[in-house]
Amino acid sequence: MNFLIIIKDTSEQSKNILQIGARVANAFSANLSIIHVGKKSKAMIEGEVSLARITMGEWNILHPGIEVLNWAYERLKGFDTIEIDPDTELKPENYVNHTKRITLSLPQSSGRDVKLILREGEMIEETSKDIDEFKYDLAILGCPKKKRNTHQVVQFFNTSVLIVKNFNKDRTYKIQLCVDDSRATKRAVVFGAKIGNHYKKEVKILTVSKTNLFKSGYRNAHRWAQKYLKRTQINCESLLISGNPVDIIITEAGNDHIIIMGKAKKNEFFKYIWGSKPIHVAQKANAPVLLIN
């Protein structure tokens, strides 16, 4: 599997995103790429500067985005989930300059690929291009400040998305699996079970109906999730609740659960205009949200 972590700066939030992303990648033994989308620097991206003839300091002046990737590299070396040689130093000549994309593969001993990526332009647009071209299985990023941007990330990133929201590295998180009759529910349950098993997390299965009547599709999906978790030797709490799905999902999760649910597959036009249940949960939740494609 191939996972992508998106960082925008060198803040504590970006460090948290790197940390949780590295841990999730470790659970799946996934290849990991870290991307930063910086401001346009025409000379660098179009290859008008010889990478081998400049120092790292000069490169940082030409394109400040490189400094963010260097910072990410130093943070990764300190995590116990990524095996990178701590004595390795980044050098300009080790970067590969593609058209509108600069990459560096990091030497490490776990057998998994770890790569740094720099693109230029607007974050959502450029990251979407990278996702479409390189077919990542999961994109991991911080919560956008604007609800409209969260909407765009969920709708237009053609992959599963983990939005790291209000993450506290000192908090013990549980997993809340939101189960319904949608096509992505089974994939969400399998994904959540993998994380729960690897990190020994408590798991809660939650199915919410707008009415007091739980139709057969909901009941069957809930039973299947219970059986699947039992087969994988995960003890779980099971809840069926009537009411507004978005409100109940958010209330039940609080700030100490990772919410896992499938992405909606409704008509793209209507999803763009009115949103969807996963989009509204991602916008309003007080905890990390993982939406499975």
- State how far the Cα of 188 lies from the Cα of 228, in Å rounded to an integer: 12
Q: Taking a C-beta distance cutoff of 8 angstroms, is the pair 185, 262 a contact? A: yes
Q: What is the mean pLDDT of the chain?
A: 85
- State how far the Cα of 124 lies from the Cα of 152, in Å rounded to an integer: 8
Compute CA distances 103 → 28, 100, 154, whole Å: 23, 10, 25
- Mean local confidence (pLDDT), 107-134: 85
Whether residue 187 is predicted with pLDDT greater than 80 in this model: the reply is: yes
Domains present along the chain, CATH in parentheses: 2-142 (3.40.50.620), 174-292 (3.40.50.12370)
Whether residue 264 is predicted with pLDDT greater than 90 in this model: the reply is: no
Whether pTM > 0.85 for this model: the answer is yes
- Mean local confidence (pLDDT), 136-143: 96
More confident residue, 158 or 81: 158
For 15, other C-beta atoms within 10 Å of its C-beta total 17
